[in-house]
Amino acid sequence: MTFFTIVLRSLTRRPVRTGLTLVGISIGIAAVVTLVGMAWGYEKGVANQLDAVGTDVVVSNMSGGLMPKVFNESLKAKVATLPRVVDATSILMQMLSVEDAPIMMISGREWGGFAWQKMSLLEGRMPKNAAEKAVVLGTLAAEVLKKKVGDTVQIEVEELPVVGIVDGHALMENGTIFLSLKVMQEVTGNDGKINFVNIRAIPNTSKAQINQLCRDIHGIFPEGRAMVSTEVVGTSQGFRVIRAISWSTSLLAIIVGVLGVMNTMLMTVFERTHEIGILLAVGWRRRRIVAMVLCESALLGLLGGLVGVGLGVLGLVTLGASPGVRGFIEPDLNPQLMLISIAISVVVGVISGLYPAWRSSRLTPSVALQS
206 burial type by CB count under 10 A (0-12 exposed, 13-18 middle, 19+ buried): exposed
The per-residue pLDDT for 269 is 67
Q: Between residues 265 and 81, which one has the greater pLDDT?
A: 81
If asked whether residues 36 and 110 sit together in one domain, one would say no
Pair 141, 165: CB distance under 8 Å: no
For residue 258, the SS3 value is helix
Strands (E), the chain: 57-60, 71-72, 85-98, 101-109, 120-124, 135-138, 152-155, 158-167, 176-180, 193-194, 196-201, 225-228
Evaluate whether residue 55 is within a structural domain.
no
Pair 269, 356: CB distance under 8 Å: yes
Evaluate whether residue 230 is within a structural domain.
no
Q: Which long-range contacts (CB under 8 A, 24 or more apart) does 208-214 make?
A: 209/84, 210/56, 210/57, 210/84, 212/84, 213/57, 213/82, 213/83, 213/84, 213/85, 214/57
Residue 278 has pLDDT above 80, yes or no: no
If asked whether residues 20 and 115 sit together in one domain, one would say no
* Region for 156 from its dihedrals, namely left if φ exceeds 0, alpha if ψ lies in -120 to 50, beta otherwise: left
CA distance 15 to 213: 64
Q: Which of 223, 255, 271 is the last residue of a domain?
A: 223
Domain hosting 268: range is 3-44+239-370
CA distance 166 to 181: 17
Report the range of poorest mean pLDDT among 24-38, 179-193, 239-253. 239-253
Evaluate whether residue 323 is within a structural domain.
yes
Q: Between residues 103 and 162, which one has the greater pLDDT?
A: 162
If asked whether residues 329 and 275 sit together in one domain, one would say yes
Q: Which of 223, 252, 277 is the last residue of a domain?
A: 223
Evaluate whether residue 234 is within a structural domain.
no
The per-residue pLDDT for 6 is 67
Residue 238 has pLDDT above 60, yes or no: no
If asked whether residues 243 and 149 sit together in one domain, one would say no
For 288-346, write each residue's pLDDT tens digit: 878 888 888 888 889 888 999 999 888 888 877 776 666 566 777 788 888 988 998 88
The per-residue pLDDT for 5 is 74
If asked whether residues 40 and 95 sit together in one domain, one would say no
Q: What is the pTM of this model?
A: 0.67
Per-residue pLDDT averaged across 344-354, rounded?
84
| pLDDT band with cut points at 50, 70 and 90 for residue 206 | confident
The per-residue pLDDT for 259 is 76
Evaluate whether residue 54 is within a structural domain.
no
Nearest to 170 by CA among 49, 80, 18, 78: 49
Nearest to 103 by CA among 322, 260, 251: 322
The per-residue pLDDT for 167 is 92
Please state, rounded to an integer, the average pLDDT across all residues of the chain: 82
If asked whether residues 243 and 355 sit together in one domain, one would say yes
For 124-138, write each residue's pLDDT tens digit: 999 999 999 999 999
If asked whether residues 40 and 67 sit together in one domain, one would say no
Q: Between residues 369 and 119, which one has the greater pLDDT?
A: 119
The per-residue pLDDT for 363 is 66
Residue 43 has pLDDT above 60, yes or no: yes
Pair 162, 151: CB distance under 8 Å: yes
If asked whether residues 212 and 273 sit together in one domain, one would say no
Let me know how long the chain is. Answer: 371
Evaluate whether residue 171 is within a structural domain.
yes
The per-residue pLDDT for 52 is 66
The per-residue pLDDT for 326 is 62
CA distance 294 to 351: 8
If asked whether residues 183 and 294 sit together in one domain, one would say no
Backbone angles phi, psi at 59, to 5 degrees: -110, 130
| pLDDT band with cut points at 50, 70 and 90 for residue 350 | confident
Residue 370 has pLDDT above 70, yes or no: no
If asked whether residues 218 and 126 sit together in one domain, one would say yes
For 60-109, write each residue's pLDDT tens digit: 886 655 678 899 999 999 999 998 899 999 999 998 888 888 888 899 99
Q: C-alpha angle 28/31/36, rounded to 5°?
A: 130
If asked whether residues 87 and 163 sit together in one domain, one would say yes
The per-residue pLDDT for 256 is 74
Q: Between residues 234 and 72, which one has the greater pLDDT?
A: 72
Q: Between residues 277 and 29, which one has the greater pLDDT?
A: 29
If asked whether residues 69 and 217 sit together in one domain, one would say yes
Cβ neighbors of 343 (< 8 A, separation 6 or more) are: 305
Q: Which of 162, 191, 223 is the last residue of a domain?
A: 223
Count of structural domains, the chain: 2
Rg (CA), the chain: 28
Evaluate whether residue 51 is within a structural domain.
no
Evaluate whether residue 231 is within a structural domain.
no
CA distance 125 to 111: 14
The per-residue pLDDT for 294 is 84
The per-residue pLDDT for 172 is 81
